[in-house]
Amino acid sequence: MNNKELLLKEIEDIPEGKIQEVIDFIHFLKWQDRKETLGFMQISESSLAEVWDNPKDDEAWNDL
């Protein structure tokens, strides 16, 4: 049994009153992943700004 199947089996056994807590936790985990990805994107953007934003390349791309 893989982890996803195990998780689904565990969810089947959760009392109805706890299901919303599980859903909230799953949303939290997804948000945490998106937040981390966004952080990496922001770091990359600032570190590559000189490469992306410079007069020489701007001039080369103006005619496209």
pLDDT number for residue 15: 94
- Tens-digit pLDDT profile for residues 9-41: 999 999 999 999 999 999 998 888 787 777 777
Is the pLDDT reported for residue 49 higher than 90? no
Q: What is the 3-state secondary structure (H, E, C) of 9-47?
A: HHHHCCCHHHHHHHHHHHHHHHHHHHHHHHHHHHHHHHH
pLDDT at 42: 73
| Domain boundaries, given as residue ranges, for the chain | 16-51
